[in-house]
């Protein structure tokens, strides 16, 4: 997900307020409850123009380079989708002021049961679209819907022919080739861009030339090539940027000789300029809006740096997970701020003290600890800088510069199987853990405090807190040792009676 955000903003480092708007307040007024949002803080604070929406943990492929699906597979976790209710909340609460929406998640968005609903809502609210797909499910109806949107279709295609099928298990190259050609033949290139985003490891390093020549032949607009990054249980071998550049050199020369219009990026740097088509924005006032800055950390000495902020994600980005968990970027999905429900609780999140603390800690000159622990890893990865973060080892912050979450009830999100009868669920960051009990469909389970090994071996409602991430993880079992992911029951924290 991080790569998408880098690539998507390469062409729009700086943005302007749409000429139809006199100020950001006009974006808030597109919302049916715009005056309420302005009164809560919108007079001074702009809305987040960019939304990353995770529709699914399910994918029809199992790819060697994908850490999320391999992790879910390792834990024998049933795949699932965002509920219709949560999707409707997103449409009602967030889309009215959203200018760009990305369907980019752990799973494959084109197999989401309500994919048509979200595309129709995107059209209705005149948002730009970015969708990341494995391109195996580009049937006639989905292509027709995509061709009615404005934005970008990005396809995770790492090779052609039988090598594609080897790298992306359960995929059929003939389906991909047919679907991509059909999409490109039917789309209006002035409103819908099409790119490939290959991940290159040792397995497909020698075939990158064939892939780029195929992409040129079918009419791809641009290729954003990225390096495979090793993960704990991954089996692919990493290659260096220098190795990849050397492998690409002959084909880039070929593309130049035939005057290819396809632009090529290597790790988000242009290595072949091509000639991109001019894209029309969606009609209406949102169409002229662009992302004004990168949505990831940028050092102050970088040409594209924000003058004040090391990272602009807390000012411009909103990330909503499968269960409705809200945060500002993909790096902090495991430590969310809140759960999306009503306009009121969105306002609590966007104008609240927690996100204010995060914004303040992410200024270039700030000496404060980072309020969101996930930011420390991201900053080091993106800029090489080392920043201290607030610790939440036991739920609450270890100082007054951290986040505190105070709500009742608190639903569990991102429930995953661990082992035996034990499952883990994620909570918003900064909970006073001693004040809450775990509930299964209205009935309080055990007193809590179990160790995870006992929860796994015995089950029967045992639960406790796992001191991982930011102390916001619960390990638990159902009352009858049935699977909490499939038994139809609700699991949430409520204040102790």
Q: Report pLDDT for 221.
A: 98
Contacts of 434 by beta carbon, 8 Å cutoff, 6+ apart: none
| Least confident span in 179-193, 213-227, 294-308 | 294-308
The Cα 314–Cα 227 span in angstroms is 27
What would the mean pLDDT of 104-121 be, rounded to a whole number? 93
User: Could you tell me if 84 and 149 lie in one domain?
Assistant: yes
Is the per-residue pLDDT at 16 higher than 70?
no
**Within-domain flag for 1:** no
Domain assignment of residue 436, given as a range: 410-495
User: Could you tell me if 364 and 391 lie in one domain?
Assistant: yes
The Cα 447–Cα 464 span in angstroms is 9
| pLDDT tens-place string over residues 426-458 | 998 899 999 999 999 999 998 899 999 999 999
User: Could you tell me if 442 and 477 lie in one domain?
Assistant: yes
* Measured CA distances, 428 to 316, 380, 394 (Å): 20, 24, 13
Contacts of 129 by beta carbon, 8 Å cutoff, 6+ apart: 100, 101, 102, 103, 119, 122, 146, 149, 150, 151, 152
Question: What is the H or E stretch that residue 227 is in?
Answer: strand 222-227
User: Could you tell me if 233 and 257 lie in one domain?
Assistant: yes
487 or 59: which carries more pLDDT confidence?
487
Q: What percent of the chain lies above the pLDDT cut of 90?
A: 69
Q: Report pLDDT for 454.
A: 98
Q: pLDDT category, 268, cuts 50, 70, 90?
A: confident
User: Could you tell me if 228 and 112 lie in one domain?
Assistant: yes
Is the per-residue pLDDT at 120 higher than 70?
yes
Is the per-residue pLDDT at 19 higher than 80?
no
Q: pLDDT category, 8, cuts 50, 70, 90?
A: very low
Burial label for 50, CB within 10 Å (0-12, 13-18, 19+), is buried
User: Could you tell me if 361 and 468 lie in one domain?
Assistant: no
Tell me whether the omega of the peptide bond preceding residue 383 falls within 30 degrees of 0, making it cis: no
End-of-domain residue from the set 241, 272, 303: 272
- The answer to whether residues 152 and 132 touch, using CB atoms and an 8 Å cutoff, is no
Is 488 in a helix, a strand, or coil? coil
What would the mean pLDDT of 471-482 be, rounded to a whole number? 94
What would the mean pLDDT of 465-484 be, rounded to a whole number? 89
Mean pLDDT of the chain: 89
User: Could you tell me if 173 and 122 lie in one domain?
Assistant: yes
**Within-domain flag for 133:** yes
422 or 73: which carries more pLDDT confidence?
422
Is the per-residue pLDDT at 35 higher than 60?
yes
- The answer to whether residues 375 and 311 touch, using CB atoms and an 8 Å cutoff, is yes
CATH value at residue 160: 3.20.20.70
| pLDDT tens-place string over residues 307-364 | 999 999 999 999 999 989 999 998 888 888 899 999 999 999 999 999 999 999 999 9
User: Could you tell me if 415 and 389 lie in one domain?
Assistant: no
What would the mean pLDDT of 231-258 be, rounded to a whole number? 91
Chain centroid, CA 59 distance in Å: 15
């Amino acid at each position: 997900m991080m790569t998408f955000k880098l690539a998507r903003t390469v062409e729009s480092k700086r943005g302007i307020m749409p000429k139809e708007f006199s100020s950001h307040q006009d974006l808030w007024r597109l919302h049916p409850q715009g005056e309420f949002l302005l009164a809560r803080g919108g007079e001074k604070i702009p809305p987040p123009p960019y939304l990353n929406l995770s529709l699914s943990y399910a994918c029809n492929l199992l790819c060697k380079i994908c850490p999320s699906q391999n992790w879910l597979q390792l834990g024998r976790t049933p795949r699932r989708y965002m509920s219709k209710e949560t999707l409707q909340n997103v449409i009602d609460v967030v889309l009215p002021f959203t200018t760009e929406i990305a369907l980019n998640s752990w799973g494959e968005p084109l197999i989401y049961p309500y994919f048509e609903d979200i595309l129709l809502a995107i059209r209705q609210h005149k948002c730009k679209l970015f969708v990341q797909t494995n391109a195996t499910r580009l049937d006639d109806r989905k292509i027709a819907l995509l061709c009615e949107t404005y934005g970008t279709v990005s396809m995770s295609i790492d090779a052609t022919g039988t090598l594609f099928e080897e790298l992306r298990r359960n995929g059929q190259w003939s389906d991909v080739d047919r679907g991509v050609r059909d999409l490109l033949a039917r789309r209006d290139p002035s409103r819908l861009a099409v790119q490939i985003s290959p991940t290159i490891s040792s397995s497909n390093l020698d075939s990158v030339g064939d892939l780029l020549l195929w992409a040129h032949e079918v009419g791809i607009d641009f290729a954003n090539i990225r390096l495979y990054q090793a993960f704990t249980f991954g089996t692919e071998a990493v290659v260096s940027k220098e190795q990849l550049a050397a492998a690409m050199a002959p084909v880039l020369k070929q593309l130049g000789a035939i005057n290819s219009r396809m632009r090529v990026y290597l790790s988000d740097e242009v290595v072949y300029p091509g000639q991109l088509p001019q894209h029309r924005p969606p009609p209406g006032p949102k169409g002229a809006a662009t992302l004004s800055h990168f949505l990831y950390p940028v050092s102050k000495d970088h040409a594209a740096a924000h003058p004040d902020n090391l990272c602009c994600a807390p000012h411009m980005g909103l990330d909503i997970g499968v269960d409705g968990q809200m945060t500002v970027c993909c790096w902090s999905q495991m430590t969310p701020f809140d759960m999306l429900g009503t306009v009121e609780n969105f306002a609590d999140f966007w104008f609240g003290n927690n996100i204010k603390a995060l914004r303040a800690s992410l200024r270039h000159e700030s000496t404060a600890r980072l309020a969101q622990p996930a930011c420390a890893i991201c900053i080091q990865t993106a800029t090489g800088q080392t920043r201290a973060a607030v610790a939440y080892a036991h739920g609450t912050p270890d100082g007054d510069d951290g986040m505190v979450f105070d709500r009742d009830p608190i639903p569990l999100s991102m429930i995953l199987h661990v082992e035996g009868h034990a499952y883990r669920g994620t909570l918003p960051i900064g909970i006073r853990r001693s004040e809450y009990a775990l509930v299964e469909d209205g009935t309080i389970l055990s007193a809590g405090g179990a160790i995870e090994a006992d929860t796994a071996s015995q089950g029967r409602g045992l639960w406790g807190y796992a001191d991982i991430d930011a102390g916001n993880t619960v390990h638990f079992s159902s009352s009858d040792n049935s699977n909490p992911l499939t038994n139809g029951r609700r699991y949430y924290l409520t204040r102790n009676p």
